[in-house]
Structure 1
């Protein structure tokens, strides 16, 4: 935690809240596309909502976002350590992140035929639904990799502390993710059977998501706003 204190020592609230607003629209678009793309978290939320109802689906969604907050903190500590070592390492990390977006796009398109939603029959408490959502996200190494590669592309070390920008963007991503998950809960509870059986809708959803991720990854890799 001392790393964070070193970054924020003598920093005003205005500087703390400063981010690169020119990249914010692209960040919000990318975050939204990633959140709505079918994946383990969405499948878990849909499954819980269909089998047990809205209350349990919402608890699972909040649990998942609690896991996101844990990953934000861990990623901030790791990224801060990298920046204290080398600015070149940060630049490399940004390009790796752009490549990772392209990879996610390709994987999303490749996995279209395998999309399915499983409904679980077991009953659990609201508290357990929350904890399962949190633990599922916390112990997923792919989530940690995502945070360390995705968010740095939208950070400008020359504006304010990298740690504060990471936290702000991470919280924005969390709000988007929670909004998508809760919307998914309500839609799932209303159209559960359709979502569980209709793969055509999910196929098109992944197609649009995959193409968008490919485009964003290519744009971020080629755009001149990727600064060292």
Structure 2
């Protein structure tokens, strides 16, 4: 079976356009990329982007395997995952509020921080129940059962979505990282950047905790 025949070009282009628009709409993920890039630099922002995209792989596979339907039909599963995500955002807010400005230094410590940001990106994505519901509602709309297994089509669409996310979020990381490197020259600005980031995370945590199915 030719996998490229499962998704016609016009359908793929429509899906990519919708994915780009959705990536540009302000939300927890792109705000997370923006704030972390401004605080830690472009490379750290890219690490967050790859972490979030790893989460996209999780959600795509979950929808393809039918696991995500649990979060649509089970109020308990939705609530548990929702509050796990909100708790993690609140934890990030707490870390931001207690962090004091310090100069950027190159070396092993920074690399470790990037791995930590990569893991944060993964947790940020997979603990957001809205992403599971969104993928469950969004991806199958572009899969035609007459052209082959829907599960395989969903995985292909998930890969396209991930590619668009890498491009858009990567640009956000590069732009915010460049601005962040300029702002990092001032310790006072660093302190305020952390406070702003903490406020953003706290607001996102409250919004996620109040999210309805």
Which category describes the TM-score, using the shorter chain as reference length? 0.5 to 0.7
Unaligned 5+ segments in structure 1 are 1-11, 83-117, 197-228
Partner of 2:166: 178
Partner of 1:49: 37
In structure 2, what is the Cα distance between the partners aligned to 1:22 and 1:42? 27
Distance 1:144 1:61, change over 3 A: same
Contact 1:76/1:163 (<8 A) preserved: yes
Equivalences, count: 146
| 1:144-203 deviation per Cα after TM superposition (whole angstroms, max 9, x unaligned) | 00100001111110011111111111100001001111111111123457xx8xxxxxxx
Partner of 2:56: 68
* Deviation of the 1:80 alpha carbon: 10
Contact 2:50/2:121 (<8 A) preserved: yes
TM-score by structure 1 length?
0.58
In structure 2, what is the Cα distance between the partners aligned to 1:160 and 1:41? 32
TM-score by structure 2 length?
0.62
Where do 4+ consecutive residues of structure 1 move more than 3 Å?
A: 79-82, 120-124
**CA-atom RMSD, angstroms?**
2.6
Contact 1:63/1:129 (<8 A) preserved: yes
Partner of 1:29: 17
In structure 2, what is the Cα distance between the partners aligned to 1:186 and 1:22? 30
Contact 1:57/1:185 (<8 A) preserved: yes
In structure 2, what is the Cα distance between the partners aligned to 1:46 and 1:81? 31
Partner of 1:144: 132
Unaligned 5+ segments in structure 2 are 71-92, 100-109, 184-192, 194-213
